[in-house]
Amino acid sequence: MSEPAHTAASERVAAALRERILSGEISPGSRILQEEVADRLGASRLPVREALLMLTAEGLVTLEPNKGARVPILDRQDVEVLYQMRERLEPLALIESLPRLDDGDLAEIAGIQRRIEQHDDVREFLALDRDFHMATYGGCGIDHLSDTVTRLWNATQHYRRAFMLISGPGRRWIVNAEHGLLVDALQRRDAVDAERYLVGHIRRTRLALVAHPEVFAGKA
C-alpha cells in the first residue's frame, strides 16, 4: 500500500494467505472467499485468484471449479503417507545439501537447535523446528526437491500443531536428543549417520502422530 508496494501483488497476497493458513488462523475445511481476501489486502480479485493457484501448488488449498477454494481436510491415512513421503525424500535433500553447507551454516543450524531447547511455546517451537530442518536442506540446490519438501511440510503443518497442542511439552526432550545427534552428525560431515537420525526422527514423529486419532476431525 504505502511503502514496499513494488513487490508483485500476487506474491503479497499469497504470502499473506500462506501465513494465515500455516498459523492456523484459517483452519482446514474453511472456505476462502476471493472478494473477502481482496478487500482485506486492498487488492483486486485477480491477484487473489493467482495466489490461490500458487497455494494450490503448495498444497495449502484445494480449488474446486465454480465452488471456490478451501483449506483441505486430511484424514489419518493422508497424513501418514505424507510423513512416509518425508521419510523418503528429506534424507535425499539432506544428502544433496550437506556437501554444500559451510561451517557457518552448520553453526547457524546448531544455534537454531539451541533456541528450540529454550522455547516451550508451541507456536515458537513449530516455527523454529521448521527453520531448523529447512536450514539443514539449505544447500540442496534442486528446486524440485526443495519445493516438494516444502509442500509436505505445508500440508501437514496443521496436524503437527494439533498434535503438539495435545501431547504437550512432556516428551519434547526426545526431539532435542534427535536434533542434537543430527547436528553432531552434520558437523562430522557424516551423511550416513545424519540420514539415520533424520529418518528415525520423522518416523517416530509419524507414529506418535497417528497414535492420536483426536487430531483428525472427520474419521478415525
Partner DNA sequence: TGTCTTGTGAATGGATCCATAACGTGGAAA
Partner DNA sequence: TTTCCACGTTATGGATCCATTCACAAGACA
Contacting residues toward a second copy, per CB under 8 A: 8, 11, 46, 49-50, 53-54, 56-57, 59, 65, 77-78, 81-82, 84-85, 88-89, 92, 96, 141-142, 144-145, 148, 151-152, 155
Strands 68-70 and 62-64: antiparallel
**Which amino acid appears at position 24 of this protein?**
G
| Strand partners for 32 | 69
CA distance 50 to 165: 33
CA distance 55 to 20: 12
The piece of 26-34, 79-87, 171-179, 182-190 that touches DNA (CB under 7 A) is: 26-34
Q: Is residue 32 helix, strand or coil?
A: strand
Instruction: Give the C-alpha separation, 197 to 177, whole Å.
Output: 10
Among 19, 27, 44, 88, binds DNA (CB under 7 A): 44
Per partner kind, with CB cut-offs from 5 to 8 A, the member of a second copy, DNA, none near residue 104 is none
Cα-to-chain-centroid distance, residue 24: 12
Binding at 96: pick from a second copy, DNA, none (beta carbon under 5-8 Å per type) = a second copy
Among the listed ranges 39-47, 54-62, 127-135, 158-166, the one in contact with DNA (CB under 7 A) is 39-47
Among 18, 20, 40, 49, binds DNA (CB under 7 A): 49
Q: Contacts with DNA: how many residues (CB under 7 A)?
A: 22
Strand 68-70: give its sheet, edge to edge.
31-32, 68-70, 62-64
Taking the chain, what is the end-to-end CA distance rounded to the nearest angstrom?
Answer: 45
Q: Is 63 in the site for DNA (CB under 7 A)?
A: yes
**Shortest gap between Cβ of 66 and DNA (angstroms)?**
4
> Where does this chain touch DNA (CB under 7 A) — which range of 64-72, 90-98, 161-169, 206-214?
64-72
